[in-house]
Structure 1
């Protein structure tokens, strides 16, 4: 009997779908895209209506042959890649491959991989959406034109191997412009005041200074602050008014792609790529033991908050039965999807709300479990009743000064019973069970006792650098990219070394700033945020059949080709405004393997180079790290002068007698600017800690150049015995027999990872302690140091706040 063929994207889906369709269908996977534009040439016929030149992706021929073979034996072919533009493109390309073997081709799609959804899709097939495919094709050709036309120009003018992208370059500009705002920012001094007050009944409370002489309070210097402090202490503090009212807080909508990425970054510390990888597996299906392979969430690339009626009903039943009728609102919640959203798919939600995080806690890898927990809690909370608070606001006068104090009391938890409060930790005093500050009973005209005036010198802060969460939010608000592209955009910025994460925030590199500035100067249209957002709208119009894809490309290339031609003539090495100290010719900024530097434009006649720093106003300044600068120190090995050099890990001293003498050292600077040798960890004498098990010589405890410790045989290089420094704590990951050993990052920060890496990738930043967390059952704790708690033990699980203070 001839069977019908279902072709999906992922091999993981094959297993999930076969589970409930049995052997009635043959299920095969395309393993993503099977055809694309060529890798080593443009692959677009610009003179012939931008006709693309597709070919089988290298390494995919075996998959293509298997699909064609299966198609020839099938009755009807059902193409079932993901329900989005990329999925439609995969379906179109697969159809081109198999249509000669079997022209009976249908397109099906489902938002969740369940027996009901797949069967409904099979009962309601449709043709391939040509317009949706053309929209994806236009996007692909646009990106190819920008990348293949501009990137070679950057190779010539900036550095070989870098790239430009239609969307990634605009994202880079957003990061760079924020950095420029920070550099241009002028901090201003201010002094906030708090009054610690006491009424007839406890607790004592703080009130903030808000007005002076009827105007917004601003204390700008220490002298004014001291004078005001003395003035306030001489005044009676009297309650001016008390306002009390009930306030409701409604739950947030269920996740869309961008809000899931933001929440996972803020609450779990996950980068967008990790979040989407975990969500993809939850969507395709995971092994749940007795339940078998089960899909846990709906499709995870969406910008719609819409929820299917049956999903709302299932949530209602769960909430009423498990929590009580009072936790369900008077009418079902329906969230309005923002303008411009495609609304092709539902919000991200659990396929079956009755499969709770507790049910899968021991069955999923940690990252998948935490992402599922986020999605499940957010969805259930989105269908629950509002939380209710009793708010109190008190005005207090002290002479010409007016203070305000706010308090709240939770009346009814509502959705917070499931979703929790993402508030910062409150001060340990005067709080109710929810952590909200309480105020004592107060009435107008009541005089209060002043316990303390608190004042503090502060300075206004520049706008913060973007985190992954805030950058995704900015891209979404500006209309840059689509939900499916955010993770790729962020990865590209980091992979190309256009930006680095410093304390989990994006800091543009000198290379990133230069690329952004060059592109902004020569390709103003492409780098315009409004134009890029408008292009997304135009691509949507292609998908809706309102615009021809060739017309869109023609409109784009008209200005693009002209800008490209002009840039190829005018774009040069970046001018620094500095002159060569050796020959007087201009110095220009360049980029090498070890990073940015300035070089004489008179090369090769003049070979002067130097490192530099960029001032806040954008001007260049040569640094003391000039190659060949005399340090004033002599080599301790041969007595020749030590000179300053600059490598991948920064500046260092090297003997001028190189290559005969290879002596090097780190250095410090004295107050008068002179150089001094620094005792680096690797220069410290190694400690004898045992006997080598291979040759019986001493085993030494040494340090790597980046700071981590390791054991090594003193007979090296004849004996190559070595072993990482161990904490003695077993790896807490279930089923792993490794130990946590000391390692260091390329920037010298210590961390502790499993000795079985890369098989096991468990790691923590702090020294591990073999002690179980009493709150979340984490097998280990870590040793931390903070100003507030001093040295203490804490749980390494980000969502657990347990800490154990030292006695």
Structure 2
């Protein structure tokens, strides 16, 4: 047995580090946290000092036993989890659960996984930083208190199965408020004046009037005054300017830039960055620091001079803007500046390229520019007080632009280009002048990247929380990355050309959005309820103040238990008051009366989602209809709702089966006997007639028709969310680009099926057919215990083949079904009652 045991968080990191240390060191992984608060109880002593009750989950018990055995055999244990609050807490849990001897335990930290960094860490060990541990405990406990007490209130007052969280609810509020700003926005029109001129040398360039006209009459009058006019340059100035590089990446700026340039989601960026870090290619990826070490700056300077020349080098220091930086990490940078690119995974290579370029550019010279401003006088029979202007920009020295240019969240309407050679007094020929009706724009919806930017600017959350916050609000259906259909708008364009003014009416689509964050009905209702009853928790300044408190705890300036007492003393009584006194919230809107029955027509949130209802709550007989996926509770009209009650609509009989069109939870469809066929996106079910329904039925039959029989079972083919597939014996088999999907041969089909069968055999670890339970291999070396639709993921390193049926059942039972949430609610109520005795 090696004399030294090093424990890190991930197996990938363990592999990399083991290469750097000699035979006297064994490197093992804890696979993240080994202990956490229990999932089925509050796990916090609210009547005492808020002591958390940590437990080792059943899927980690075997791993903990192995680590304990290894630690007993080692002369020294080195706790090498990440140097942030989560990492410090992991190190502390390891020390506690493994019962490590303080004299034989050392804490080491590093920001990059390189040989020099690891050896330097070994030479400079420290003790566990309990201030960091307490900051992590404070966040974990406070978030547990908020989630555990608020969620049952939502179940009782809004809808079962909902949840609330301190940071996630504030993120949803931002998105809801932005959506309402957009809905309340009224565009204001004006007329923008653009022109094209030709110089004496015959070069064309564009110019504009600095002011817009408020009305069509004013714009038309300006064009009329330009009839027969001549044009002259009255002022031309050239001024030097410079542009500086952006700072190296922090977590949030990396997430934003990867979204702009690589179209990565925030979660994908962090997953890929984690792999690059664990492979020793970049420094630690959860940081709000823009600092580079002296070694890193020297390495960048050397690489810049070597690749581009001395004039391109300018070492720089940057200061962070974050309201509450966590620990003093470095910015995200490559560990080896001489490695310009990496091979292997395409997405990893693209993200590495972005990090390398941004880091190098941050240490390069400014770009030197020349900006030209031109003023053009209108010489006309009638006095024209307005002047046209043209602006140009020319790069005299590219500097850092040779490597990298930072992206922007929103495309600018105009980019300044180069202007042709001109001088003061030159006459110009006008080619045309346009007066185009333009409208003010509503605020932009948030992208994942711009939401991260806003959270950071408000001081809400920290580098480790941005990605989980966004994935949580999407997975809980409070927000979706939706497609918003635009509407057509007509606008007028007046053109003066060859002494004639012509009118043209043009059309544009406005309000359309794709891939932006849009609140759902349930997200809006939950947000409104929480803002009304828990305004303090949803307040941006309060949330930022809590983050600052965590920072103060991390620096030893504040006691974490005092913070908990101050918070819970005000929060808990409010929860009890709301639970006792608040009305139920369903987003109900009364739209009018049913002309046939005189009953109330309303929309509200129902058990299965947004719905319409004919009949007041107290009426005995009521009619119900689901809203379509493209309809929203707060926007749907009376007419649109009444159309929903025209469904289901029977279209007739086809091949002795009834055909009807209807609207369901997942959108409108045609039903042919027991077969359900979704309508094309955006199609109104009331527009469907029998002829179109027959087309859909025949297309469905053709798509479902067997293309082959294999082992006496039919083979079908189709195209789904993940591309082309064939289906055989209830197995869906992806058809990759190796095959010609439109012309699959019998041999292709048999090969695909046999390959899939073998993969299923290879994937199966264990099976108990009578219990309908099986254990399978999953992605990234993990394992799944599966029973029906219930799936429990086991971490990499688990000895899945040794799991017994009883252990598998126990793990599946812990994935509590929704029906058991009422029991949870009772427990929470009891806890609140005891807490009240304080």
Map Cα deviations across residues 383-434 of structure 1 (whole Å, 9 max, x no partner).
0111111111111122222221111111111111111475899999xxxxxx
Is residue 576–residue 619 contact of structure 1 (8 Å, CA) maintained in 2? Answer: no
Counterpart position of 1:104: 104
Superposed, 1:363-762 pairs within 5 Å as 364-398=344-378, 399-420=384-405, 422=407, 437-502=417-482, 503-569=514-580, 570-574=582-586, 576-578=588-590, 581=594, 584=599, 587=602, 589-593=604-608, 595-597=610-612, 602=617, 605-611=620-626, 621=638, 623-624=640-641, 628-629=645-646, 634-637=651-654, 645-652=662-669, 666=679, 676=689, 679=692, 682-685=696-699, 692-694=707-709
Q: 1:420–1:166: structure 2 CA closer, same or farther, 3 Å change rule? A: closer
The question of whether the paired residues in 2 share the 8 Å contact of 1:628 and 1:644 is answered with no
Q: What TM-score, normalized by structure 2, do the two folds share?
A: 0.76
Larger displacement relative to structure 2 (569-578 or 558-567): 569-578
Taking the aligned partners of 2:552 and 2:711, their CA distance within structure 1 comes to: 75
Inter-CA distance 136–317: structure 2 relative to 1 (3 Å threshold): same
Which residue is 2:317 aligned to?
334
Asked whether 1:318 is paired with 2:303, we answer yes
Contact 1:630/1:642, CA 8 A, preserved across alignment: no
Q: Return the alpha-carbon distance in structure 2 between the equivalents of residues 188 and 259 of structure 1.
A: 34
Distance 1:197 1:252, change over 3 A: same
Deviations 1:734-766 (A, max 9, x none): xxxx99xxxxxxxxxxxxxxxxxx999xxxxxx
Q: Deviations over 1:329-357 (max 9, x none)?
A: 2xx21111225323510111111101111
Aligned to 2:215: 220
Distance 1:605 1:8 in 2: 63
* Separation in 1, partners of 2:186, 2:361: 43
How much does 1:125 deviate? 1.5
User: How far is the alpha carbon of 1:590 from its aligned partner?
Assistant: 1.9
3-state SS of paired residue (2:330): coil
1:249 maps to 243
1:779 aligns with: none
**CA distance in structure 2 between the aligned counterparts of 1:667 and 1:279, rounded to whole angstroms:** 39
Q: How many pairs are equivalent?
A: 700
Q: Distance in 2 between matches of 1:670 and 1:133?
A: 56
C-alpha separation in 2, matches of 1:668 and 1:161: 29
Q: Is the 8 A contact 2:588 2:605 kept in 1?
A: no
Conserved 8 A contact 1:179-1:508: yes
Q: How many Å apart are 1:651 and its aligned residue? A: 2.8
Which residue of the other structure, out of 345, 349, 358, is the alignment partner of 2:329? 345
C-alpha contact 1:108 1:124 (8 A) present in aligned 2: yes
Separation in 2 of the partners of 1:97 and 1:517? Answer: 43
Judged with a 3 Å threshold, the aligned counterparts in structure 2 of structure 1 residues 721 and 344 are, in CA distance, closer, same or farther, namely: closer
Q: Quick check: 1:478–1:529 contact (8 Å CA) kept in 2? A: yes
The 8 Å contact of residues 706 and 716 in structure 2, kept in 1 or not, is answered as: no
Q: Taking structure 1 as reference, are residues 184 and 120 closer, same or farther at Cα in structure 2, changes over 3 Å only? A: same
Aligned-partner Cα distance in 1 for 2:327–2:245? 21
Report if the CA contact (8 A) 1:594-1:647 is conserved: no
Identify the range of structure 1 (367-376 vs 662-671) with the bigger mean alpha-carbon deviation.
662-671
C-alpha distance in 1 between matches for 2:258 and 2:677:
45
State the superposition RMSD in angstroms.
3.8
Report the Cα distance in structure 2 between the residues aligned to 1:524 and 1:346, rounded to whole angstroms.
Answer: 37
Distance in 1, Cα, partners of 2:638 & 2:118: 64
Asked if 1 retains the 8 angstrom alpha-carbon contact of 2:707 and 2:717, the reply is: no
Contact 2:274–2:285, Cα closer than 8 Å, also in 1: yes
**Residue 71 of structure 1: CA displacement?**
1.0
| Matched-pair contact (CA < 8 Å) for 2:6–2:78 | yes
Shift of 1:160: 2.2
Which stretches in structure 1 are left out of the alignment for 5+ residues?
Answer: 211-215, 286-294, 429-434, 732-737, 740-757, 761-807
CA shift for structure 1 position 111: 1.0
User: Aligned in 2, Cα 1:618/1:535: closer, same or farther, shift over 3 Å?
Assistant: farther
Q: CA deviation at 1:456?
A: 2.6
Aligned to 2:507: none
1:88 equivalent to 2:88? Answer: yes
Q: Which runs of 5+ in 2 are unaligned?
A: 379-383, 483-513, 742-747, 750-777, 781-838
Q: Given that residues 588 and 600 in structure 1 are in contact (C-alpha distance below 8 angstroms), is that contact kept between their aligned partners in structure 2?
A: no
Alpha-carbon displacement from aligned partner over 1:560-587 (angstroms, at most 9, x marks no partner):
1122112213140335241774684685
Please identify which structure carries the higher helix content: 2
Maintained 8 Å contact 2:533/2:578: yes
Deviation at 1:41, TM superposition (A): 0.9
Deviation at 1:726, TM superposition (A): 8.1
Listed as ranges, the matches of 1:10-409 within 5 Å are 10-99=10-99, 104-210=104-210, 216-221=211-216, 223-285=217-279, 295-329=280-314, 332-338=315-321, 339-357=323-341, 360=342, 362=343, 364-398=344-378, 399-409=384-394
Quick check: 1:511–1:596 contact (8 Å CA) kept in 2?
A: no
Preserved CA contact (<8 Å) 1:682 1:704: no
The DSSP-based 3-state class of the residue aligned with 1:17 is: helix
The change in CA–CA distance for 1:217 and 1:265 in structure 2 (over 3 A counts) is same
Give the distance between the partners of 2:520 and 2:680, measured in 1 at CA: 25
Distance verdict in 2 for CA 1:464–1:665, change over 3 Å:
closer
- Structure-1 separation of matches of 2:129 and 2:678: 65
Contact 2:371 2:391 in 1 (8 A): yes
- Counterpart CA distance in 2 for 1:257 and 1:383 is 19
Larger CA deviation: 499-508 vs 437-446: 437-446
Q: 1:638–1:661: 8 Å Cα contact kept in structure 2?
A: no
Give the Cα separation in 1 of the matches to 2:156 and 2:260. Answer: 40
Q: 1:55 Cα deviation (Å)?
A: 0.5
CA distance 1:303–1:668, shift in 2 (3 Å) = closer
Kindly indicate whether the alpha-carbon contact (under 8 Å) linking 1:253 and 1:305 is maintained by their aligned counterparts in 2: yes
Counterpart CA distance in 2 for 1:11 and 1:401 is 69
Distance in 2, Cα, partners of 1:18 & 1:151: 44
Contact 1:208 1:404 in 2 (8 A): yes
Encode CA deviations 1:114-173: one digit per residue, 9 max, x unaligned: 222122222221111111111100100111011111112222333322211110000010
3-state SS in 1 of match to 2:374: strand
Residues 354-398 of structure 1, C-alpha deviations (whole Å, 9 max, x = no match): 1111xx2x3x21111111111110000000111111111111122
CA distance in 1, matches of 2:676, 2:57: 51
Shift of 1:18: 1.2
Q: 1:600 to 1:17 in 2, by over 3 A?
A: farther
Deviation at 1:442, TM superposition (A): 2.0
> Matched residue of 2:48: which SS?
coil
> Does the aligned pair in 2 maintain the 1:634–1:640 contact within 8 Å?
no
Question: Relative to structure 1, is the Cα distance of residues 67 and 571 closer, same or farther in structure 2, using a 3 angstrom cutoff?
Answer: farther
Contact 1:198/1:449, CA 8 A, preserved across alignment: yes
